[in-house]
Amino acid sequence: MPAQPDRFLAVQASDEFGELRRAHRSFAFPLTVAFVAWYLLYVLLSNYAGGFMDTVLVGNINVALVFGLAQFLTTFLIAWWYSRHAAARIDPRAEAVKARMEAAE
């Protein structure tokens, strides 16, 4: 069956699709802003607060190394958190939209 743009536009305008989009945006946008701010803090501190970043914490481990490793940890935590959020709040809504579109065929 050829694509039917009217069906897609109708689904896109539906409350169900709006809830799906809100579920995604309410999680992704604030977390993206927070992560970018966290990353920029690291970059700015590295460039303009060299003395602070060079502060030795233990042995050869300094603040810059801890912040750098925390960037990786944060990335993995966000990915894990998003996968849980998607499984609980996004995927069921997406499946409902998909099922409704397939049933209309």
Q: Residue ranges of the domains in the chain?
A: 5-103
pLDDT tens digits, residue range 1-57? 566 788 888 889 999 999 999 999 999 999 999 999 999 999 999 999 999 999 999
Query: pLDDT value at position 1?
Result: 53
Q: Concatenate the DSSP letters of all residues of 25-93 into one string.
A: HHHHHHHHHHHHHHHHHHHHHHHH-HHHHT-EEETTEEHHHHHHHHHHHHHHHHHHHHHHHIIIIIHHH
Give residue 78's Cα distance to chain centre.
7
Query: pLDDT value at position 38?
Result: 96
35, 41 contact by CB (below 8 A): no
pLDDT tens digits, residue range 77-102? 999 999 999 999 999 999 999 998 88
